[in-house]
């Protein structure tokens, strides 16, 4: 597979995209480190933060379909730790970790034979950290994600502070 930058697909962009300096190995692999709109705060649980709302036209939907069909993965880092998807192996009672998450997946609605494409539009992050009891400081030791494809819903007109009724426990 050819590597693409994160923003080669129409993901929610930051106001200003900043490229971080890469080392020679990252350049040769095609890695690009760019900022995103995801914000994490140490030891502050967050839930259902909306990054943005996107409406896909035919051209951008086709771009997502191609990447899903080719099983492309999104890679992220936090504090220089790679994002992983934990996969429980019930046969061995263990967990394996895959780097990055798939852009989406192909499947069918139950009772249908028509193949559909689903974009992973909802990400449940887990940031693991080790807490130093003496100093009350902490350091990040793991960065995990569970990607989902969710048909989100909300009530009323879309505004900046809109809450999703499909995932926010505080919404009506």
Q: Is 62 contained in some domain? A: yes
**Best CA proximity match to 148, nearest among 161, 164, 170:** 164
Which tens digits make up the pLDDT trace of 112-150?
A: 889 999 999 999 999 999 998 888 889 999 999 999 999
Q: What is the CA radius of gyration of the chain?
A: 18
| Closest of 146, 157, 40, 22 to residue 84, by C-alpha | 146
Q: How confident is the model at residue 161 (pLDDT cuts 50, 70, 90)?
A: confident
Determine, yes or no, domain membership for 172: no
Query: What value does the mean pLDDT take over residues 9-19?
Result: 83
Lowest mean pLDDT among 5-14, 27-36, 76-85: 27-36
Instruction: Decide if pLDDT at 170 tops 60.
Output: no
pLDDT of amino acid 78:
94
What number of CA atoms fall less than 13 Å from residue 54's CA on the CB side?
16
- Residues 144, 85: contact at Cβ < 8 Å? yes
pLDDT band at 30, cuts 50/70/90? low
- Strands (E) located in 67-121: 73-74, 77-78, 81-82, 84-89, 94-99, 101-102, 104-107, 116-119
Domain that holds residue 133: 6-148
Residue 161 lies inside a defined structural domain of this protein: no
CA–CA distance, 21 with 105 (Å, rounded to integer): 32
Is residue 113 in some structural domain?
Answer: yes
Residue at 56 is within a domain: yes
Chain-centroid distance of CA 119 in Å reads 11
Count of structural domains within the chain: 1
| Higher-confidence position of 97 and 2 | 97
Average pLDDT, the chain: 88
**Residue 102: inside a domain, yes or no?**
yes
Whether the CA torsion 10, 127, 22, 1 is positive or negative: it is negative
Mean pLDDT of 64-89: 94
Q: How far apart are CA 80 and CA 17, in angstroms?
A: 18
21 and 31 Cβ atoms separated by less than 8 Å: no
User: Is 169 a member of any domain?
Assistant: no
- Predicted confidence at residue 82, as pLDDT, reads 93
What's the pTM?
A: 0.85
What span, in angstroms and rounded, lies between the C-alpha atoms of 97 and 83? 9
In a domain? residue 170:
no
Check residue 5 and give its pLDDT.
84
Contact between 9 and 67 (Cβ < 8 Å): yes
């Amino acid at each position: 597979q050819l590597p693409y930058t994160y923003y080669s697909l129409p993901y929610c962009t930051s106001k200003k995209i900043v490229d971080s300096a890469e080392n020679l190995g990252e350049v040769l692999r095609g890695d690009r480190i760019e900022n995103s709109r995801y914000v994490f705060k140490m030891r502050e649980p967050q839930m259902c933060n909306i990054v943005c709302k996107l409406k896909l036209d035919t051209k951008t939907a086709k771009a997502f379909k191609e990447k899903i069909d080719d099983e492309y993965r999104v890679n992220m880092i936090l504090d220089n730790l790679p994002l992983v998807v934990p996969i429980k192996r019930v046969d061995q009672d263990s967990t394996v970790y895959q780097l990055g998450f798939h852009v989406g997946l192909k499947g069918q609605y139950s009772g249908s034979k028509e193949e559909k494409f689903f974009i992973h539009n909802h990400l449940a992050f887990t940031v693991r950290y080790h807490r130093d009891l003496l100093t009350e400081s902490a350091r990040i030791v793991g960065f995990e994600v569970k990607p989902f494809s969710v048909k989100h819903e909300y009530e009323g007109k879309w505004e900046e502070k809109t809450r999703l009724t499909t995932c926010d426990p505080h919404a009506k």
